[in-house]
Amino acid sequence: MYMQEAKLPDQHHTWRNDILFLTLVLGGLFFILLGVRPLFVPDEGRYAEIAREMVASGDYVTPYLNGIKYFEKPVLFYWLESGAIHAFGLSLWSLRSINAVLGLSGCLLTYVTARKLYDRTTGLYAALILGSSALYFVMSHMISLDLPVTVFLTATLYAFLLGTHQPMGYARRFCMWGSAAAAACAVLTKGLIGLVFPAMIIGAWILCLGEWRLLARLYLPSSLLVFLLIAAPWHVMVGMRNPEFFYFYFIKQHFLRYTTLKVGHYQPAWFFIPNLMMGFFPWIAFLPQAIANLAPKSRQQWHQYRNELFLLLWALLIFAFFSFSKSKLIPYILPVIPPLAILTARYLSKAAQQQAPGKGIKAGFACVLVSALFISAALILFPRRTALPQPGTAALYLGFAAAVLMLGSFAAWFYASRNLGKAIAIILSTSCAFLLFCLAAMPSIDTRTIAPLAQQLKPLLKPHAEVVTYNQYYQDLPFYLQQRVTILNWKNELTYGMQHQDTREWMIKDKTFWQRWHSSTPMFAIMGMKEYLEFKKKYAKETHYLIGATINNVLISNQPPPVPR
């Protein structure tokens, strides 16, 4: 079908207009408010600091976190972040711009793929649904590896699927090479899942269709060469510089992280079900109908739904893979959103062409309205029942978010049986506005950030002053101070580097802390509020000076602060 569409004389014009429209709309959605909120901890603080240290040290092979080797993740994202620093300076906007660009790229790739597989309307719907999905929107505004690896995996699988529709020749070859290159970038972003997921999904798809002859038409030798040329050099170089790298990276961070409870973040097997419902909001209301609408009655009929089968396997296998993993975090589920966006878009596009929407469409809009009621109530109650840095500002923005969500959901439900195209447009606009108001509220509700204390501390720092994080590590503090900090009684993810470096100068124990505290060198310590209350009781005879405090954290010093003139 898409080959026929490409031959129509006015297609070039519509392609250009659609790409421009999506770039302006989704670009605005992803780039707005990038620099207004502090770093989200721990992830944003960690990855921003690694990129900052990479630029400061000039070492683009071995990543460091607070001066310690950090090999939990590969290096590509740090390279992209370093490029942003060189191009636009060290700022939150520049660092977050990488994921904004990648988020927009993922939506444009989704448009191109969905349009080629189906039609123009499906392509537009798919891109907008993806961009306005809650989890995809959030991750496009964060300094995190989950959005980049999702986009690279998406490009890998899109290129492969489109390539299978091409005849043997240069077009198919370039699609397969592009797929291999994107897979290599995924591996360089977050490890072996960049290769495992495409192989698992493609293999299962071929098995279901029984088309083993397809393997001979995928240009596998040259595609493998493309993959290795991109993915292998860094792994070789970092292994040569750090002989201990391979065991920690491949065994501990891949195999043991997936199979054991000692490494990673344990959650129950059903953990991703509610997170998918929230992450794909509001479009999750239409997903069951979209999948049920396929409903092939036999294996032979799957050949008529080969594209849909590929997208379903993509979502189901990744969902199952992480559900069985011993380590689970919410963003892990992000790679299932693009295929679900296309399936949902296809369902809504076909429904919009009908004169009267079916019961599934009406039920979907009703579910969105009911969900909006509960979400709005939670948003209104949240600032009233929670201690926040700026409760008034939080109540204002969250109140706007709740009002937009309720009014938009009601309007969409009202138009669902009258003008489905208008109802879909209302839900799209409502979702975007709702998410932007929630994003605007974030600085006023973030109680974990260390930014206020870092801003208070930075003018007080003299050349020989020491900053200590007391019994924990604030991942965002070194970035705000633009220097390494001393860490007391904490190791966690820095344990590996400490085993292969001499870190005694800045990874210290209580004895060293008190020796330095009693010296004439200015020393500052940041600790949690509960930790501070225990500190005052346990060391009541020790002199300290309170410099500043937030809801959750405290800044103290061994010397009185200078008197302002």
Q: What are 525's strand-pairing partners?
A: 468, 556
Per-residue pLDDT of the chain (565 residues; tens, 9 = 90+): 344 444 444 577 899 999 999 999 999 999 999 999 999 999 999 999 999 999 999 999 999 999 999 999 999 999 999 999 999 999 999 999 999 999 999 999 999 999 999 999 999 999 999 999 999 999 999 999 999 999 999 999 999 999 999 999 999 999 999 999 999 999 999 999 999 999 999 999 999 998 899 999 999 999 999 999 999 999 999 999 998 888 888 877 767 666 665 655 678 889 999 999 999 999 999 999 999 888 666 666 777 889 999 999 999 999 999 998 877 889 999 999 999 999 999 999 999 988 777 888 999 999 999 999 999 999 999 999 999 999 999 999 999 999 999 999 999 999 998 899 999 999 999 999 999 999 999 999 999 999 999 999 999 998 899 999 999 999 999 999 999 999 999 998 898 889 889 999 999 999 999 999 999 999 999 999 999 999 999 999 999 999 999 999 999 999 998 765 5
CA 523 to chain centre: 36
Can you read off the two tokens belonging to residue 179?
């797929």
SS3 502: coil
Asked if 441 and 455 sit in the same domain, the reply is: no
Asked if 553 and 436 sit in the same domain, the reply is: no
Residue 353 domain-assigned?
no
Residue 273 domain-assigned?
no
Query: Which of 394, 424, 445 corresponds to the end of one domain?
Result: 445
pLDDT at 1: 38
Residue 51 domain-assigned?
no
* Domain count within the chain: 3
Asked if 201 and 323 sit in the same domain, the reply is: yes
Residue range(s) defining the domain that contains residue 27 = 2-32+71-267+286-347
Asked if 138 and 183 sit in the same domain, the reply is: yes
CB count in 10 Å sphere of residue 288: 14
pTM of this prediction exceeds 0.85: yes
Asked if 418 and 465 sit in the same domain, the reply is: no
Residue 43 domain-assigned?
no
53-65 burial, b at 16+ Cβ within 10 Å, e below that, comes to: bbbeeeeeebbbb
Rounded Cα distance between 460 and 350, Å, is 63
Residue 45 domain-assigned?
no
Asked if 495 and 519 sit in the same domain, the reply is: yes
Asked if 437 and 480 sit in the same domain, the reply is: no
Residue 218 domain-assigned?
yes
Can you read off the two tokens belonging to residue 43?
């992830």
Q: Name residue 445's amino acid.
A: I
Residue 407 domain-assigned?
yes
Asked if 430 and 343 sit in the same domain, the reply is: no
Asked if 7 and 103 sit in the same domain, the reply is: yes
Rounded Cα distance between 561 and 546, Å, is 9
Query: Which of 445, 464, 488 corresponds to the end of one domain?
Result: 445
CA 45 to chain centre: 14
Asked if 437 and 455 sit in the same domain, the reply is: no
Q: What are 468's strand-pairing partners?
A: 486, 525
Rounded Cα distance between 96 and 523, Å, is 32
pLDDT at 267: 82
Asked if 152 and 77 sit in the same domain, the reply is: yes
Rounded Cα distance between 402 and 433, Å, is 10
Asked if 170 and 300 sit in the same domain, the reply is: yes
Query: Which of 303, 321, 347 corresponds to the end of one domain?
Result: 347
Residue 50 domain-assigned?
no
